[in-house]
Amino acid sequence: MTEKDLRSPTVRVEGLPALEDLDFEKWLTSLSIRLTQVMVVRDRAGRSKFYGFVVFETREQAEVAAQTINGRRLRNRIVSATVSQDPPQRVQQRVA
């Protein structure tokens, strides 16, 4: 994910089964969710850490998606989804 993506409205999805980004994206689009980007988080060996992020254009889209995803079953696992908090604004400090 890029720095711009981290500033975009994002939903964290937990409880995912081991799956590829494309499979996760297909599942989301089957729920009629319009998204910008998906990412399943992996460890250094490339194994799923069972959570991921979905990036949206607007906060409203993220909130609707989180409500739609939360409590759904995906490959016999119930997933939970929450809208990530807005990232804190970085305070620029002057170096004297």
Other residues' Cβ atoms within 10 Å of the Cβ of residue 70: 15
- Tens of pLDDT, residues 59-78: 999 999 999 999 999 999 99
Q: Which string of DSSP letters, residue by residue, matches 7-66?
A: HS-EEEEES--S--HHHHHHHHHHTT---SEEEEEE-TTS-EEEEEEEE-SSHHHHHHHH
Give the residue with greater pLDDT, 88 vs 14.
14
Rounded CA-CA distance 51/77 in Å is 12
Q: 45 pLDDT exceeds 90? A: yes
Domains of the chain, CATH where assigned: 10-83 (3.30.70.330)
Q: Token pair 């004297």 is at which residue?
A: 96
- Do the beta carbons of residue 52 and residue 72 sit within 8 Å? no
pLDDT over 70 for what percent of the chain? 80
